[in-house]
Amino acid sequence: MNDLNDAIDKRLLDKVAFGDIDATVELAEIFFQQQRYGFATSLFLLASKHGHQKATERLADISERVHCNKKEEAGDGGAA
């Protein structure tokens, strides 16, 4: 495992494995802060399907960040 994953509390992972939605959001938030948006999106989607409002808000944040990054990359493609 890499250092990013090693830093995650094993108790938190256990809670997520047992279906604790608040723990799922907490883990997703860690991935969000690490800019690991794929993992974060998956976990936030799961939590949002259970009605967790923060998860729904974070999904919008991720969508916005990814969209902005794509726009920036498209803009940089023509510059030299």
The domain ranges of the chain are 3-77
54 has a pLDDT exceeding 70: yes
DSSP per-residue codes, 8-22: S-HHHHHHHHTT-HH
32 has a pLDDT exceeding 80: yes
* Burial annotation 29-65 (CB, 10 A radius, 16+ → b, else e): bbbbeeeebeebbebbebbbeeebeebeebbeebeee
pTM of the model: 0.78
Q: What is the pLDDT of residue 6?
A: 76
Q: How confident is the model at residue 77 (pLDDT cuts 50, 70, 90)?
A: low
33 has a pLDDT exceeding 80: yes
Tell me if 47 sits within 8 A of 59, measured CB to CB. Answer: no
